[in-house]
Amino acid sequence: MLTDLSYPLKDNTVPFWAVPMIAIILPFFVILVCYFIRRDVYDLHHAILGLLFSVLITGVITDAIKDAVGRPRPDFFWRCFPDGKGSCTLSTCNCCIIHAQVFDPVTKDVMCTGLKSVIKEGHKSFPSGHTSWSFAGLGFLALYLSGKIRVFDHRGHVAKLCIVFLPLLIAALVGISRVDDYWHHWQDVFAGGLLGITVSSFCYMQFFPAPYDVDGWGPHAYFQKLAESRNCNPSNTINSSNAQQSELESVYVDTQHGRGPSGASTHDSSPILDETNRLRRY
Residues serving a catalytic function are 130, 184
Please name which of 176, 151, 172 lies closest in space to residue 163, comparing C-alpha atoms.
151
Residue pair 64/146 in contact (Cβ under 8 Å)? The answer is no
